[in-house]
């Protein structure tokens, strides 16, 4: 067969591969490294069935490339790639483990093409087999690249959402009475957390019609100048919406940072402990 006549299109090869879709999926799963973790380690029948279904859908799309003259079939995989890349099971699986399975699947195709050519009794030239093999490798490489991009984006989106949820949960306004709230801050406060806190606390106080808010900093070991500035901006913001604030538990380090910023404590109620602040405002609390 002259080189210029080489083509991917071959209905017999298409049928040969399609007939072996389920067999390829079963073989793939049976030889799967279950110790790789993530979705591959699951013993949940529903998860396993979904994993096999995704694998079989891949084969159906892959086989279709042999019914066309067009060598570019990655577009056909766009929906499949997006769905699998954003799948929770695959997001919980190490990326290197997923890529390993793409390469194992690639090897399956190369082997089946070799088997198909052997059955044709020299009617298929080595050049044609090589053309099919190149198409398989090129296509799967492109799929791997696109999957990696989509999976990384999805992982970053999920991580950002988790971080935002953690930040929201770490800055809750606890209602002590109908009009009084407590904001206990614990752990390291970075600039991002301070910004989210500013937005969420203002919104919570507005929604709850809070008149007074106690801010407890006793659980915060240290803050930088940017975060200190954000906290005192929060106090100013609360003042604008009619919420009076009182701060308790300021450490010497935080006090020094505030002084370096030139923050005036003159108009801010400050207490050594949150218990003292609540006692002063006649709220019942057990002092430790």
* CATH number of 134's domain: 1.10.490.10
Same domain, 158 and 183: no
- Whether 169 maps to a domain, the answer reads no
Residues 211 and 158 in one domain: no
128/201 same-domain check: no
The number of folded domains in the chain is 2
Same domain, 36 and 156: yes
Asked if residue 168 belongs to a domain, the reply is: no
Angstrom distance (rounded) from CA 191 to CA 195: 6
**For residues 57 and 121, which has the higher predicted lDDT (pLDDT)?**
57
63 inside domain? yes
Q: Looking at residue 201, which CATH number applies to its domain?
A: 3.30.750.24
pLDDT at 82 over 50: yes
Residues 84 and 53 in one domain: yes
Place of tokens 């009475």: 177
Structural domain contains residue 11: yes
Are residues 140 and 10 located together in one domain of the fold? Answer: yes
- Identify the band that residue 288 occupies on the pLDDT scale cut at 50, 70 and 90: very low
Asked if 23 and 113 sit in the same domain, the reply is yes
Residue 248 lies in a domain: yes
Does a structural domain hold residue 151?
yes
Residue finishing a domain among 130, 162, 194 = 162
4 pLDDT higher than 60: no
Q: Which of 135, 162, 189 is the last residue of a domain?
A: 162
Q: Are 167 and 198 in contact (CB under 8 A)?
A: no
Same domain, yes or no: 96 and 192? no
Interval 222-260: pLDDT, tens? 777 787 788 888 888 999 999 999 899 888 888 887 787
Across 17-29, average pLDDT: 94
Q: Give the number of other Cβ atoms within 10 Å of residue 27's Cβ.
A: 13
Per-residue HEC secondary structure of 152-200 comes to: HHHHHHHHHHHHHHHHHHCCCCEECCCCEEEEEEECCCCHHHHHHHHHH
Dump pLDDT digits (tens) for 115-172.
Answer: 999 998 788 899 999 999 999 999 999 999 999 999 999 988 888 887 777 666 666 7
Token pair of 41, please? Answer: 């380690």
Same-domain status, 182 and 141: no
Asked whether residue 287 is assigned to any structural domain, the reply reads no
Query: Is residue 236 domain-resident?
Result: yes
Specify the residue for token string 């591969």.
Answer: 17
Model pLDDT, residue 73: 66
| 156 lies in the same domain as 28 | yes
Q: Which of 162, 187, 203 is the last residue of a domain?
A: 162
What is the pLDDT, as a whole number, of residue 262?
75
Q: How many residues does the chain have?
A: 288
What six digits make up the tokens of 285?
Answer: 């609390």
Same domain, 149 and 40: yes
Let me know whether 152 and 13 are in one domain: yes
**Structural domain boundaries enclosing 221:** 174-280
Least confident of 32-41, 223-232, 277-286: 277-286
Report helix angle 11-18 to 95-119, nearest 10: 120
């Amino acid at each position: 067969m002259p080189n210029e006549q080489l083509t991917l299109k071959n209905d017999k090869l298409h049928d040969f591969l399609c007939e072996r879709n389920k067999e390829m999926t079963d073989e793939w799963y049976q030889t799967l490294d279950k110790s790789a973790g993530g979705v591959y380690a699951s013993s949940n029948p529903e998860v396993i069935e979904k994993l096999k279904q995704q694998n079989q859908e891949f084969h159906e799309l892959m086989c279709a490339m042999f019914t066309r003259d067009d060598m570019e079939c990655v577009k056909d995989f766009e929906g499949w790639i997006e769905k699998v890349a954003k799948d929770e099971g695959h997001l919980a699986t190490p990326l290197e483990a997923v890529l390993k399975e793409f390469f194992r699947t690639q090897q399956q195709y190369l082997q089946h093409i070799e088997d198909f050519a052997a059955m044709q009794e020299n009617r298929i030239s080595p050049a044609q087999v090589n053309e099919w093999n190149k198409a398989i490798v090129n296509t799967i490489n492109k799929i791997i690249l696109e999957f990696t991009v989509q999976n990384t984006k999805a992982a970053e989106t999920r991580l950002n959402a988790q971080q935002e949820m953690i930040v929201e949960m770490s800055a809750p306004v606890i209602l002590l009475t109908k009009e009084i709230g407590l904001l206990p801050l614990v752990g390291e406060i970075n600039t991002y957390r301070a910004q989210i806190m500013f937005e969420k606390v203002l919104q919570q106080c507005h929604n709850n019609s809070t008149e007074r808010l106690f801010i407890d900093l006793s659980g915060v070991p240290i803050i930088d100048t940017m975060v200190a500035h954000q906290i005192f901006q929060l106090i100013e913001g609360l003042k604008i919406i009619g919420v009076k604030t009182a701060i308790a538990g300021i450490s010497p380090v935080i006090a020094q940072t505030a002084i370096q910023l030139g923050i005036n404590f003159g108009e801010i109620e400050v207490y050594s402990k949150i218990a003292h602040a609540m006692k002063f405002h006649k709220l019942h609390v057990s002092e430790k």
